Structure 1
Amino acid sequence: MKNEIEVIGFDDAPFKKNDKDCILTAVYMRGNKIVDGVYFKKFQKDGLDVTNKIIDVVKGKHYNKIKVIFLSGITFGGFNIADINEIYKRTNIPVVVVIDKYPNYEKIFNAIKKHFLDYNIRIEIIKSQPKPVKLDNIYVQYVGIDLKSIKKILEKTRLKSKFPECLRLAHLIGRGFLYL
């Protein structure tokens, strides 16, 4: 595996309570040092469209080069849930979700039931995803790739953080939208 493996990382920009739309931020990188693209896409806060928006970005300019899609969690813009199985199915590129802590599913499901009429759809999407697995000091959910390969790719895509650099940068760039 080469050091400059091509990866793309997705995070959401912060949003305000009354916002209807959110901004999806994506950073395409080679390894952990070379940024070759930064992308933005609007999606609905608490909607069900983030999966398609991620796929739209992935199938853009660098589609044939991307080896792994990294997501910062599976919920974006509140409870707009990314379906990693669907992303993998429609892109044929491995998907790896990276999170800090193991999710409290009971708390998440209760919040969804309280706030959404279509709670059954959202809960079913979450239940259909692979469960997070501890890997060193993070948790990962993944499809289309094995844990041993993820570990190698993380070694090549991290710089000084426990997260791949593409996710760290997507997060930092997204935070810039706080100042608009």
Structure 2
Amino acid sequence: MNLKREIRILGIDDGPYSKSRDKKTILIGTVFRGGDWIDGVLKTEVKVDGMDSTKKIIKQVSHSRHYEQLQYLILDGITFGGLNVVDIEKLYDKLKLPVLVVSRKHPNFNKFKKALEHVSNTKKRWNKIKKAGKPIEVDTTQNNKEKPIYVQYKGLNKQTAKEVVKLSSTRSRIPEPIRVSHLIATGVIKGESYGNA
């Protein structure tokens, strides 16, 4: 399958927060045509270590004027605001958009499970993580020195998932929609963007 370069992708990442001080953090979504043109920015908030990320993303996306044009949804990790785990199966069912979860490192599921013991609804959160499936490794650049990224997905096949992240990774090894969402989110909260975008 050859994807068109201008496929509409929404990439979502959260902003920085302090567990001791902040009850909420922002979620920024950027709408891209492929990995080249930004068409819009969305914003919502989720509770730190809460249970509302799936519901908030569904509302954020479905109420957007960009919704009808979107073809893929890419999340920067499966948790936002600490351990606010996203149910990607539910996102796909409700939004009818294929969902991809991108991680810079292979997710450490044992570490996830242990961390979940310190918050409520441990079993529910863990089930969401398990439902996301086993990550696949994807090399997004031609540079042999660059590390691969890891992708979980719902609503599309393995080959298409690889093609979507490769096509949208135009400036670095991660898809541009989540790289820019990260920059905006940190800039809004801290006054200046920083970090591994």
TM-score (norm 1): 0.94
Residues 64-94 of structure 1 show CA distances to partners (whole Å, capped at 9, x for unaligned) of 1111000001010000001100000001110
Contact 1:74 1:97 in 2 (8 A): yes
1:175 aligns with 2:186: yes
Aligned counterpart, 1:146: 157
Amino acid paired to 2:33: R
Pairs within 5 Å for 1:22-171? 22-59=25-62, 60-113=64-117, 115-136=118-139, 137-171=148-182
Amino acid paired to 2:83: F
State the percentage of identical aligned residues.
39
Contact 1:5 1:156 in 2 (8 A): no
Deviation, structure 1 residue 53: 1.1
Where does the alignment leave 5 or more consecutive residues of structure 2 unmatched?
140-147, 193-197
**SS at 1:64 equivalent:** helix
Residues 36-60 of structure 1 show CA distances to partners (whole Å, capped at 9, x for unaligned) of 1111101111111011111112212
Aligned counterpart, 1:14: 16
Deviation, structure 1 residue 156: 2.5
Deviation, structure 1 residue 95: 0.2
Contact 1:10 1:70 in 2 (8 A): yes
Deviation, structure 1 residue 125: 1.7
| Root mean square deviation of aligned Cα | 1.3
What is the rounded CA distance, in whole Å, between the counterparts of 1:33 and 1:88 in structure 2?
25
Question: In structure 2, do the counterparts of structure 1 residues 61 and 107 end up closer, same or farther at CA, with 3 Å as the change threshold?
Answer: same
Q: How many residues align?
A: 179
Residues 121-144 of structure 1 show CA distances to partners (whole Å, capped at 9, x for unaligned) of 211221222121112211100011
**SS at 1:162 equivalent:** coil
Aligned counterpart, 2:195: none
What is the rounded CA distance, in whole Å, between the counterparts of 1:28 and 1:50 in structure 2?
19
Contact 1:4 1:156 in 2 (8 A): no
Contact 1:31 1:156 in 2 (8 A): yes
Please say which of residues 62-71 and 142-151 is displaced more in the overlay: 142-151
Contact 1:7 1:29 in 2 (8 A): yes
Larger RCO, structures 1/2 (Cα 8 Å, 6+ apart): 1
Structure 1 segments, 4+ long, off by >4 Å, are none
Question: In structure 2, do the counterparts of structure 1 residues 21 and 88 end up closer, same or farther at CA, with 3 Å as the change threshold?
Answer: same
